[in-house]
Structures are given as structure tokens and as C-alpha cells.
Amino acid sequence: MKLDRRTFIEILVGFSAGAGAGIMLTPVNWKIMDDMAIWSQEMWPRYQLGGLKGKLPERGKVTHEDTVCKLCPGGCGITVRKVKDRATKIEGRDGYPVNNGGICLLGASGLQLLYGPWRVPGPLKRSGKRGSGAFGRISWEEAIDEVVHKLTDLRDKGEAHAVAAILDSDRGTVPQLFSRFLKAYGSPNFIRTASDQDTYELALNLMQGAEDSVGYDLEGANFILSFGSGLIEGWGSPVRVIQAHSKWRSGNGDRARVVQIEPRLSNTAAKADNWHAVRPGTEGALALGLAHVIVKESLYDPMFTANHTFGFEDWNDFTGKIYMGFKSLVLTEYSPQSVSDITGLSPRKIVALARAFAEADRPIAVWGRGKGTTSGSLYECMAVHALNALVGNINKPGGVSTRPDVATQPWAEVVQDATACTCFNMPRVDGAGSSRYPLTKYLPDRWPQVMDGGNGGIKALLVNGADPYFTTMDSAAVAKAFEHIPFVVSFSSYLDETAYHADLILPNHHYLERWEDMPTPVGLHKPVLGLLKPVVSPQFDTRHVGDVIMTIAKSLGGKVADSFPWEDYKTALKETVGEKWGALEEEGFVEDANPASEGSFGTPSGKFEFYVTAFDQAGMTMRKDEEYLPHYAPIKPEGNPVLYPLLLVPTELMRLADGAVGNPPFCTKTLEENELKGDGLFVEINPMTAADYGLSEGAHATLATPKGKAKVLVNLTEGIMPGVIGIPKGLGHKAYDDYLAGKGVNANSLIGVVEDPVSGLCATWGIRAKLTRV
């Protein structure tokens, strides 16, 4: 059969609709899926995997094994079809509490990552200039000895604090092993890669006193107001959200209204009941304008605001001093007309949207742009979250809740030696937790910005489950920072950008080859712990990263070694899960009840705080009352508007992976010809703007920003606001292979970092730009 782009897209659309709505697919689509499975079983390994070149897989007994996908934070349950020990197909696992049988295109493409040419075959040591791709094979013993020697040398010099680790998450046993290692060794520099959770977790801590992640009961809501979230483009747990979207669109009484706020007609906007285009970066102002109408017309929940909130009304302290409350702020500063002037949305639409949201039975306001791969503005996040409090939909069915993970057994505290105790208390390299940013845990986009050759900086970097060289904004600053790091170790299974620029690669097992726990996926409102199980034998000379980091720790000796009493990673995992292990191993997941209740808040006032008192407790005395409240604090994009009259914003696609894993060929195949043509990347621009610059459909142009420039193609669309350019994230790789390398432009090479003044996190969503016809 012919497997062209259109056929692939038809497969994706048909399969997604069936998985989401429970529709029986036609035999034709199932036949195509079988053909794809045959291709992945025979043709891909035969022609691409060096060890199997020219050799067809053996025929044999067909079995199915369950595990969990680790290609994105979604944490979907999957079922792997096997012939003997060869995996031949990946499907969504029926009954799994996250995705219930559904699977996305990236998840279905997992076999290309298992058997494809991107795999690192075993430990590699750089043999040429960094970034040249020149590596030589070494043994595991040699590789570990080299890491131990470097770390011992730094520790002996009293520079343990110059070691850092960058991971994709801080939840689960593997990240906690890295965190524990750094603490025992003496480094405070555990860094989590950027996501909207950086900001939302901080907002929840300030407004609700919770250290947990956010959970949305999307399935129980009947009005979804999304502030730029790509609900069907990979936000949260993608398959789960797409299935919820299908439920919202159903006509069986579960139908919900969906409203999308963003400057571009994304797929989420196109499939929403209403799309409201606002100027990029003004979403927080719109949220406050909606709050103005809700308060003015008394549409808020009076019981919740009276009994469970602090700072809604004006208040006074023991001296009698009066402080402004949220109610006074929005009534005075955010009238529909003033917000219209900021956002470009008419006062009439602002009023109508506020009424519709407040009058719904179970409304929910969702925050986090695109797939949630950037941090964002703190006050904007607080403004959106305040809408959920106004309607009293906090810790309720169909609402927003703080969601702890499934309860597990705590580990014994690390006992530090003198070196570790001294170095661990040194300032972090990214500035998180400093007097300037005392409430922020990680500043993942900041560390390259503050590193130079003379400030000490990072002298040894460990990277696992992340590709910061590619995914961190301001690629030039990242490249320069890597030049200043003497020793870089990647634990990647694939030859990604960071591995390509590493000194050593100690490859982890593929996610289908290893044990690992998968904590509750991002955005899910109920605690779920999933279990990755090895469904195939390791295909290469790889080792579990948990075992490797424990081996390094034990080789360092002393208190560092004492902090890792387990025989191997699986022993540590079983001990951590405790009495739940039997059920977890048998079922592949366990669930807990969400303990959050309506009036359960850990703030100093014991209530939901519109007026954040934690700022004072952290020593962050604000100049004005409004700075303690959710308010509109515009983040100015980088660049001179005279020199760069347009605004470039990143766009994210369900069919284009832009995280730690490169886009597999299956996914790249589905990109439209007005998205990627050959190696040329298209940017979206409104026809009115294009006319001003003499640009036509398909025209070649130079896209320039203060951070760099690139050759692009022009895609004219009415689905983007005039004056705005949209650039897809996920292309522009220089590593991997010919299926991905050299295609398109890395959006991060054109977009810089603008810090949020309170959190220090990257708050920008775009940069000033110009387009010039070639």
C-alpha cells in the first residue's frame, strides 16, 4: 500500500476520533494500522538498524504486554504486541485511568525510537571537538570510572556545588535518586526543565499554600475557558484531554462549552465553540476584565469568597491600616473598556464571556500556553486561577484542585559530610531560592544567561530525560554556556543535541526496556501511579540510569555511598512503593483518592488568598497593594519595535514533538506541505501583514529577531492576528539523523528569555521580529 502524507493524516484523524469518542473504526482503517505494524516490524528494523540489516525478524508466538509510555509527561498506559521478543505494535491500553485505550501518534511511533538509528549503542566518549559528533566506544567500567574521577576531583577542591543535574521532572524515583545524589555529594543544583508547572506550582503555593501540582477535572466541567492552552495539541496528558474534548462535543447530556483565548487559530481554537483572538501577552488583563464583570454583577460565589478566601474585600491590619482587596482592584482598574483597549477584544464580548462563564454550573479556567513547555508570567497565572476561586470551583468535582501524588514510602534523610554540608548551602547556579527569587525552586531558562567564563558556574553537568541544548530558549546563550562547562555527561538513549555535545554518553535503557514509576500525569485531577515494565530485552549495551547513578555514588564512598543502601534500582523502587507494590506490579497502576477539600488551604490565613501574604513572609515586601494581588503586569517582548515591527510567537503541533525526544519519522510524515516542505519551514502570517511586506504564499523570506535570523517560507492564513508571526516548535535539529536533522529551524534559536520580575522564570511568549523577502 502507498503510505503518503494524506494517508497518514487520515489514519491519525480516524484513530483519534475513535479513541476519543468510542466509535468503532472501519475495517479499512484497521487494515492500514496493520500495514503500519507490519512495516514497523519488518521494514524499519531491516533497513535502519545496523545489527539487523538485511535480516527479517523471525516468526513466532504473538503476545501482548502492558506498560506505560514515557515519551511525554502524559503517562499513557500502552499495550505492546510482540512476536517472540520483538515488539511489533504499540496501542493504547484499555481501562488505564489516564487514556483508556487511546494513543497519540507519538506514542504509536515508539518502536521507531526503540529500533531506529537514533539509539546510542553503548557508552561513548567524545573523540573530537565538542559538537563534531565524533565518539568512540568505551566500556561501562571505563565510563563510570571517568565520571567518578571527575566528581572526586571537584569535591576534593571544595567545588561540589559546581556540579548540576538537569532532568525532565522532579517527581518519581529516578529524579529523586539524582536529587539525593546531589544532596549527598554537596550540590544544590538540581534543575527541572521548563514547563508551565514552574509557574502554576508557585501560584498554588502562594494562593493555596500547596506544594502539589494542579489538577483539572476536565471530564466533570461543563464550561472550559482556555487561556492559550493547546487542549488538543499536546497540553497536559494529550490523549486524556482529547478524549475529554470528545465528551464535551457529545450530544448525550455531557456537552460542554469550550472557549479558546489566543492570537492564533490553532486546532483547539478551530474546534472550540468560540475563539477570541487577543493581543499576545494580554491574557492576564482579559482574565481580570472578566473578574470585573463577575464582581460588578454579583455573579461570584458569595459563600466561597466569604468563608474560604482572604483579600477579596478590603481589609485592615492590627494598626488599622486599610489594604486594597481583589474586589476593589478589579472594579477600579479593569473595566471592559479599559481591558478592551489592552487586549483588542470588544467590551461587549468581554461582558458576554464573563456572564457565560460565571453562570455555568461547573466552569473551569485553564492556564498554560500551547503544550505547556514554557514557564510564563506569575501574575497572569494568578489572574486566571483567581477566576476559578471567584466562581467557587476550587477542590470540587468539575473544578481545579491541588493534586498530591500517590502516597509512597519516604526514604531516610541524607546524612551529609562536612564537604557536602558546606557546598550544598552555596547559592544555586540559576539563582533560584536566592534573596532575589526566594520562592522559586528552579529557573531552567536562566542558568545559561548567567553563566560566563569567570563566575565559576557549572563545572560538571549531568543530564537525564531532557535535551536542554535543544529545548532551552536562546540557543546561542545555551551553546556558549555549554562551551564553558568542562565536563558534560548525558544519560540519553538517543543521540539528541545534548548527547551530541556531551563528553560522555552513558545510555539509559529505552522506556520499553526498563522498570520505572510514572507519577500522576500533568493536569490529571486524581492521583495515579503507573509502572513502566520491560516488555523487551535491552537491544544494546545500555544500563538503567538508576543503577548507574547508584554505582557512581557507591564508588565515591563515604557518606555519599551510605546514602544509597539499595542493591539496585528495582529494589529501591519496590521499597519506595511499599505495600502497594504487589498491586502495582500486577495491574500496572494504583490510584489514590484526592484528599483536597473545599476549605483545605495551607496559606498563612488558612484560606484561598487573593492577597498573597507569603510575599512578606519570604521577605519580598512589595511597593504597592496591587503587587500582592493578581494584576496585569505586561511583559515587554525583547526587541525594538522600530527595528522589529512584528511579533514572533511559537506554535506547537500535536504532530510535532518539541520536548526531550525528537520527532519520529512517522510523525514528521504527517506534517502538511504548508508546514514543512523538504527542509524548508513555513511560518504563519496574516495576508494583510504579508501584503505590507510584499510577501505571497510560499515566498522565501528571512526571519530576523534580536537573537538571530533564519531562512523560512511564508504560509498565508487568516487564522493569525495581523502583525503576528507563528513559528512551529520542534524542528531545526542538528543531531539525530537524516530523517530529522537539518529540517526547518529551531524556534528557540530566535526567541530569548525575558524574566518575570517576581519569579525569575521566563515570562515571555514571543519576541519582536521582522520578515524580509528574499
Task: List the grid coordinates of 245.
Answer: 474534548
Encode pLDDT of 87-103 as tens digits: 999 999 999 999 999 99
Q: Give the residue carrying C-alpha cell 547559592.
A: 427
* Mean pLDDT over the full length of the chain: 91
Structurally, at CATH architecture level, domain 218-398+603-628 sits in 3-Layer(aba) Sandwich (3.40)
The mean per-residue pLDDT over the stretch 143-159 comes to 98
State the span(s) of the chain assigned CATH 3.40.50.740.
124-195+421-509+543-576
Q: Give the residue carrying C-alpha cell 470540587.
A: 396
Phi, psi (5° rounding) for residue 262? -175, 160
Q: Are the C-beta atoms of residues 121 and 49 closer than 8 Å to each other?
A: no
Q: Are the C-beta atoms of residues 41 and 56 closer than 8 Å to each other?
A: no
pLDDT of residue 596: 65
pLDDT of residue 455: 47
Encode pLDDT of 229-255 as tens digits: 999 999 999 999 999 999 998 867 678
Classify residue 166 as exposed, middle or buried by CB count within 10 Å of its CB (0-12, 13-18, 19+): buried
Kindly compute the dihedral angle of the four CA atoms of residues 542, 547, 550, 551, in this order, to the nearest 10 degrees: -50
Residue 77 pLDDT more than 70? yes
pLDDT of residue 593: 82
Q: Are the C-beta atoms of residues 563 and 180 closer than 8 Å to each other?
A: yes
**What DSSP string describes 549-587?**
HHHHHHHH-HHHHHT---SSHHHHHHHHHGGGHHHHHHH
pLDDT of residue 59: 81
Highest mean pLDDT: which range of 188-192, 369-373, 522-526, 590-594: 188-192
Q: Are the C-beta atoms of residues 651 and 100 closer than 8 Å to each other?
A: no
Q: Are the C-beta atoms of residues 584 and 575 closer than 8 Å to each other?
A: no
Residue 424 pLDDT more than 90? yes
Encode pLDDT of 441-497 as tens digits: 999 999 998 875 444 689 999 999 999 999 999 999 999 999 999 999 999 999 999
Q: Which of 409, 503, 407 is nearest to 461 (CA)?
A: 503
The mean per-residue pLDDT over the stretch 135-162 comes to 98
Q: Are the C-beta atoms of residues 199 and 378 closer than 8 Å to each other?
A: yes
Task: List the grid coordinates of 686.
Answer: 496574516
pLDDT band for position 132 (cuts 50, 70, 90): very high
Dihedral of CA 502/544/164/209: which sign? positive
State the span(s) of the chain assigned CATH 3.40.228.10.
218-398+603-628
pLDDT band for position 50 (cuts 50, 70, 90): very low
d(CA 489, CA 125): 10
d(CA 541, CA 449): 36
pLDDT of residue 38: 52
The mean per-residue pLDDT over the stretch 576-581 comes to 96
**How many other CB atoms are there within 10 angstroms of residue 660's CB atom?**
24
d(CA 58, CA 49): 15
Q: What does pTM read for this prediction?
A: 0.93
Q: Give the residue carrying C-alpha cell 534500582.
A: 569
pLDDT band for position 773 (cuts 50, 70, 90): very high
Q: Give the residue carrying C-alpha cell 503518503.
A: 4
646-773 has which CATH code? 2.40.40.20
The mean per-residue pLDDT over the stretch 582-593 comes to 95
* DSSP SS3 for 731: coil
Show Cβ contacts of residue 772 under 8 Å, excluding neighbours closer than 6 positions.
Answer: 693, 701, 702, 704
State the span(s) of the chain assigned CATH 2.40.40.20.
646-773
CATH code 3.40.50.740 for 124-195+421-509+543-576:
yes
Q: Are the C-beta atoms of residues 564 and 554 closer than 8 Å to each other?
A: yes
Q: How far is the CA of 772 from the CAs of 648, 699, 729, in angstroms? A: 14, 10, 21
Q: What is the number of helices (H) and of strands (E) in the chain?
A: 28, 31
Classify residue 173 as exposed, middle or buried by CB count within 10 Å of its CB (0-12, 13-18, 19+): buried
SS3 content of the chain, % helix, strand, coil (to 5): 35, 20, 45
pLDDT of residue 11: 44
d(CA 689, CA 647): 11
Distance of CA 120 to the CA centre of its chain: 24
The mean per-residue pLDDT over the stretch 574-597 comes to 91
> How long, in residues, is the chain?
774
d(CA 723, CA 632): 22
The mean per-residue pLDDT over the stretch 566-590 comes to 97
Q: How far is the CA of 166 from the CAs of 196, 429, 442, 444, in angstroms? A: 17, 12, 10, 8
Residue 688 pLDDT more than 90? yes
Alpha helices in 157-300 (DSSP H): 173-185, 196-208, 238-249, 267-270, 283-296
d(CA 334, CA 338): 6
Residue 746 pLDDT more than 60? yes
* DSSP SS3 for 88: strand
pLDDT band for position 268 (cuts 50, 70, 90): very high
pLDDT of residue 13: 41
Kindly compute the dihedral angle of the four CA atoms of residues 487, 491, 493, 498, in this order, to the nearest 10 degrees: -40
Q: Are the C-beta atoms of residues 75 and 68 closer than 8 Å to each other?
A: yes
Please, what is the Cα angle at 697 between 692 and 702, to 5 degrees?
65
Residue 633 pLDDT more than 50? yes
d(CA 227, CA 369): 7
Task: List the grid coordinates of 435.
Answer: 534573596
Helix (H) / strand (E) containing 666: helix 665-669
HSE (CB half, 13 Å, CA atoms) of 535? 28
d(CA 679, CA 34): 30
Please, what is the Cα angle at 553 between 552 and 554, to 5 degrees?
95
Q: Are strands 257-261 and 223-229 parallel, antiparallel or unpaired?
A: parallel
pLDDT band for position 598 (cuts 50, 70, 90): low
**How many other CB atoms are there within 10 angstroms of residue 696's CB atom?**
11
